[in-house]
A and B are shown apart, each in its own frame.
Chain A
């Protein structure tokens, strides 16, 4: 079973087309294994980006160095998954 320990989901808001283009370029870097839960569409609309733990620093540095604003939507994906599984098991019992 694939685990997502330490993975975060960042809510990123690009302010113009240039920043959207930067986000798309970021998403194409396959070595980062990023997953856009919501794709960057247009300025002002949030994009949600799941970032594996080992790449968090690099991605956050990229965003900050390009003045792209973001917040952490999910601190630790695995924590939510563990909670979800616990709730399912409880319901089944």
Chain B
């Protein structure tokens, strides 16, 4: 068991238990900045935890970050752990992080899909979906990024439970999704959602379920442009950016579209590295470089949110 944030190996992939233990360690080491919220449970009754970074205050506006909605995208959970640690390291040191946390809260769900993640460690490294049983089908799981109530059932999602993009029987059927929906709606003041995936080196924004530009298209595009430029400045990793529908393909039922349609203007989704060599199997030696280059891009978005209240 990893018992200290100073001895935890951020350059290695970890199991669910190791990461959940580390969450406790992070909270214990920084009790005035970080707390752990239990926002629900997965289909297989694992707890769903969210880290809350807060310097106090009440009813503060907030930024939501998440990693690992697709369980096989291991670089994302690993980047999540590194980033959560970076936030506590930089508070009080980096002026941007300090300014953000002095007036806003950050919520961070590092393992959105714990059942799938545990399954990738025990049984099938390439598992993507949740682990819910589908009535009348031998195939298990729902794609939790096609399960949101935004263009649910539209293009780019499947009605076939055996498909990797199976949308589920109805919107928010997955407890992993519903728990986030309830939390964000209950909070009422989440101003930005950044959902992290891998791997095609993109920074995307709404819409995915329709091709018309989002009302804030121009502003989101400008934010994305700066973010990918600052990301590329670290190691030269080139990202593309744009709306989901324009940049990759139409995809109904995604988290960022749901967030945008529910008033969260600054909704983005990252697709982290790879350049076409490893796909979901990015070697652990690339965790820290990936997280390091992603950090300034995340910070750009968060600073923009701070400086553009609405």
Chain A residues packing against B (C-beta within 8 Å): 1-2, 4, 9, 11, 30, 35-39, 41-42, 45-46, 48, 50, 73-74, 77, 80-81, 83-84, 87-88, 91-92
- Whether A87 touches B283, Cβ cut-off 8 Å, given contacts A41-B249, A80-B278, is yes
* Residues of chain B contacted by A80 (CB below 8 angstroms): 278, 281
What residues make up the interface of B, taking CB atoms closer than 8 Å to A? 9, 11-14, 122-126, 156, 162, 164, 200, 248-249, 276-281, 283-284
Cβ-defined contact, B277 with A73, below 8 A: yes
Q: Complex Cα distance A38/B201, Å? A: 12
- Sort A-B residue pairs by CB-CB distance and give the 3 closest, nearest first: A91-B12, A41-B249, A2-B124
Contact indicator A1/B281 (Cβ below 8 Å) = no
Residue on B nearest A73 in the bound complex, by CB: B276
CA distance A36 to B279 in the complex (A): 11
**If the complex has contacts A41-B249, A88-B13, are A36 and B277 also in contact, measured as CB distance less than 8 A?**
no
Contact residue among A36, A41, A46, A50 (Cβ-Cβ distance under 8 Å from B276) = A46
By a CB distance below 8 angstroms, the chain B residues around A50 are: 126
Tell whether, in the assembled complex, residue A81 and residue B125 are in contact, meaning their CB atoms are under 8 Å apart: yes
A46 to B277 CA separation, bound complex (whole angstroms): 12
Q: Which residues of A contact B249 (CB under 8 A)?
A: 39, 41-42
A35 in contact with B284 (CB, 8 Å): no
Among B123, B124, B284, contact of A88 (Cβ-Cβ < 8 Å): B284
Return the chain B residue nearest A89 by Cβ: B12
| Chain B contacts for A42, CB-based, 8 A | 249
**Residue numbers in A under 8 Å from B200 (CB-CB):** 38
Complex Cα gap A45–B248 (Å): 9
Instruction: Give complex CA distance A58, B126 in Å.
Output: 22
A46 to B199: give the CA distance in the assembly, Å. 12
Output the least CB separation between A11 and chain B (Å): 6
* A11 touching B164, Cβ below 8 Å: no
The answer to whether B276 and A11 touch across the interface, beta carbons within 8 angstroms, is yes
Q: List 6 A-B contacts (CB under 8 A).
A: A1-B123, A4-B126, A35-B164, A77-B281, A91-B11, A91-B12
Q: Which residues of A contact B123 (CB under 8 A)?
A: 1-2
| Cα distance, A9 to B281, chains bound together (Å) | 11
- Residues of chain A contacted by B162 (CB below 8 angstroms): 30
Question: Which chain A residues lie closer than 8 Å to B280 at the CB level?
Answer: 37
- On chain A, the residues within 8 Å of B276 by CB distance are 11, 46, 48, 73
> Is the CB–CB distance between A84 and B284 below 8 Å?
yes
Q: Are A81 and B12 interface neighbours, CB within 8 A?
A: no
- Given A1-B122, A91-B284, do A9 and B12 touch, yes or no (CB 8 Å)? no
Q: How far is the CA of A91 from the CA of B249 in the complex (A)?
A: 38
